[in-house]
Structure 1
């Protein structure tokens, strides 16, 4: 339980700190118009509501999480929480944010 609390704290801390670091690294500019708005045609390019974009991201992450989490937990025990947490922060968050910015 201690490992779980530590990992949960790391995820919350990274949400507020590492996300802003990636935003500075990608040089995000809110004045740029996204292709979903600039090329909107109702088929391939369309603006989605925020809840739907969040749901798509959640389903992409939640689909493989239970599989890999159980396998790593069975192989390595509670320390797998740390590997999953660090992997989500430094690789998953970076990949999702920067590929979205591209």
Structure 2
């Protein structure tokens, strides 16, 4: 039988791994936000990717990409950058499907 100490150690390592992953994701989102603010082409490229995804018959994240299309056609680059930096659970899905790439 596995001891309680071993189980606690495994759970602590798993939690640390999840935290490292979240930190890496936040750093990437920060870099994407900087790009959106500093590169005028980033919004156009993101919109192109969104429309490409929406053109697919089987787009598993259609609702999210539709929301991105609305955001990219109606909001400012500053708004988009702030959305990418937002760490609230409400924006998790949007950030996970962010249509931007690092230059």
TM-score when scaled to structure 2?
0.31
- Structure with higher RCO (Cα < 8 A, 6+ apart): 1
TM-score when scaled to structure 1?
0.32
